[in-house]
Amino acid sequence: MIRHCSAAFLLLAGLLGGCAHTGQVTPSSTAAALDPAVVQGAWWSWAAAAPAGRNPVEDETGEHCAVNQPSGMWFLAGTFGGRAVRKCTVPSARNLVAPLVNRIASEQECADLLDSATGQLKVDGVARPVLRWKGSRITVNGVADNPVTRRAGVFETYGCGLWAETGALEPGRHKVTIRGTDGDFRIAVDYHLLVTDQAGEAPRASREETLVEGS
């Protein structure tokens, strides 16, 4: 889920000085290894890297889920409010990371968000731990006409929210569900994933299922 900040705050955030984390991601497979600032900076830059019409956050089917994915992990996305059902093919040995409720905001707004927001991510019906990430200084880089940050170029801000990761999933079919709320703002996303092996193929059983479904 994404809660938009005001244009005024984004302008001020772009003027913040000092050192902030850029959108560079290194491989990770455990929650303890995830750096909140690094992951959030990378996720916001990924989400803002595509313009309206082919942006992964507004994507309702999963058509654009693979666009601009980083090499070290695989990002999932919420919505701007409401429900989406997405089908996506994901390579194995990738840790899937997703925000349940997230925003770029001031430190105080981040604290308020963590007090009010709730969320949950499940993999094949099993809930994953929720990571509560308070405000971290991040650097975001977006393209023109993107519906996420609504601005082009690089700026610095604070990122925060509730997050979760799946770890690397076994090749085959999986369902990942994302639920998030903040006040009257709610999202529900169902990902139907086909995880392929390193050669880019699904296990034999999954390939046969695909043939049956397509026949």
| Interval 162-191: pLDDT, tens | 999 999 999 999 999 999 999 999 999 999
Q: Which two tokens stand for residue 86?
A: 């997405």
Asked if the model's pLDDT at residue 199 lies above 70, the reply is: no
Q: How far apart (Å, rounded) are the C-alpha atoms in residues 204 and 210?
A: 10
DSSP-assigned letter for residue 200: S
Residue type, 77: A
Asked if the model's pLDDT at residue 8 lies above 80, the reply is: no
Closest CA to 190 of 202, 177, 181, 174: 177
Q: How far apart (Å, rounded) are the C-alpha atoms in residues 213 and 76?
A: 25
Look at residue 6 in the predicted model and tell me its pLDDT.
36
- Band the pLDDT of 198: cuts 50, 70, 90: low
Look at residue 33 in the predicted model and tell me its pLDDT.
81
Asked if the model's pLDDT at residue 32 lies above 80, the reply is: no
Asked if the model's pLDDT at residue 193 lies above 60, the reply is: yes
Mean pLDDT of 150-156: 94
Look at residue 87 in the predicted model and tell me its pLDDT.
98
Mean pLDDT of 94-123: 95
Mean pLDDT of 145-157: 94
Q: Which two tokens stand for residue 208?
A: 């046969």
- Band the pLDDT of 21: cuts 50, 70, 90: very low
Look at residue 213 in the predicted model and tell me its pLDDT.
47
Poorest-confidence range of 98-107, 148-157, 196-205? 196-205
Which domain covers residue 11, as residue numbers?
Answer: 2-214
Look at residue 26 in the predicted model and tell me its pLDDT.
38
Asked if the model's pLDDT at residue 215 lies above 80, the reply is: no
Asked if the model's pLDDT at residue 208 lies above 60, the reply is: no
For the chain, the domain total comes to 1
